[in-house]
Amino acid sequence: MFTKVLSSEKPILSFHICGNDLYTLSGRSVSHFELATGKAIHTKELFTKDGLSRKLLCDGQFIYSKDFCTFSILDAHSLSVIFRCELGDNLSSDICDLCQDRTHVYASLRGGGLAIINKARHEVLKIMVTDHSLWCIEADKRHIYGGGVNGRFFVLDKNTLLQRL
């Protein structure tokens, strides 16, 4: 039934498969594994406190991570933090979800905000898109899709949003 099993002492909160690499968030650490063999390449403690609301994405060069209100960019090979910022202030503006495209990372914020982070310049633009939280988001070439806590599904035009940058 199972072909491979990786084990961790803490819950695996998020993972992302990028080519032949597997990146995981477990407990306070981010880990890099070779997907084909399950061999651990590198593990690094990223967080100072325990938490369960974390996520990561990878594009092969960088890892993008959320933890409560904090957004981080890590080098995918060394797992070193190269950029960190606070996108929210408290429980009313924490990060709900992350998605990405080739040039930007998008973070939905509790209360209806959306943060757009330029991958190359690390510039952050925050805008309000609704008066309800977008709990989950995804992006394609032209749109950002969001599921709202109010039961609505949103389709946002990326060109219109990116013109604000």
Angle at 47 (CA atoms; ends 45, 52), nearest 5 degrees = 115
What does the pLDDT read at residue 165? 64
Domains, the chain, ranges and CATH?
Answer: 1-86 (2.40.10.480), 90-165 (2.40.10)
pTM value is: 0.93
Q: Chunked in runs of 10, what are the mean pLDDT values of the chain (165 residues)? A: 76 95 96 92 94 94 97 97 95 94 97 96 94 95 95 94 76
Query: How confident is the model at residue 163, as a pLDDT?
Result: 79
What is the pLDDT at residue 2?
62
CA-to-CA separations, 28 to 40, 52, 57, 80, 85, in angstroms, rounded: 16, 10, 16, 14, 18
Q: Give the burial class of 29: count Cβ atoms within 10 A of its Cβ; 0-12 exposed, 13-18 middle, 19 or more buried.
A: middle
The amino acid at residue 33 is F
Per-residue tokens: 141: 């070439």
Q: What is the pLDDT of residue 74?
A: 98
In this predicted structure, what is the pLDDT of residue 1? 58
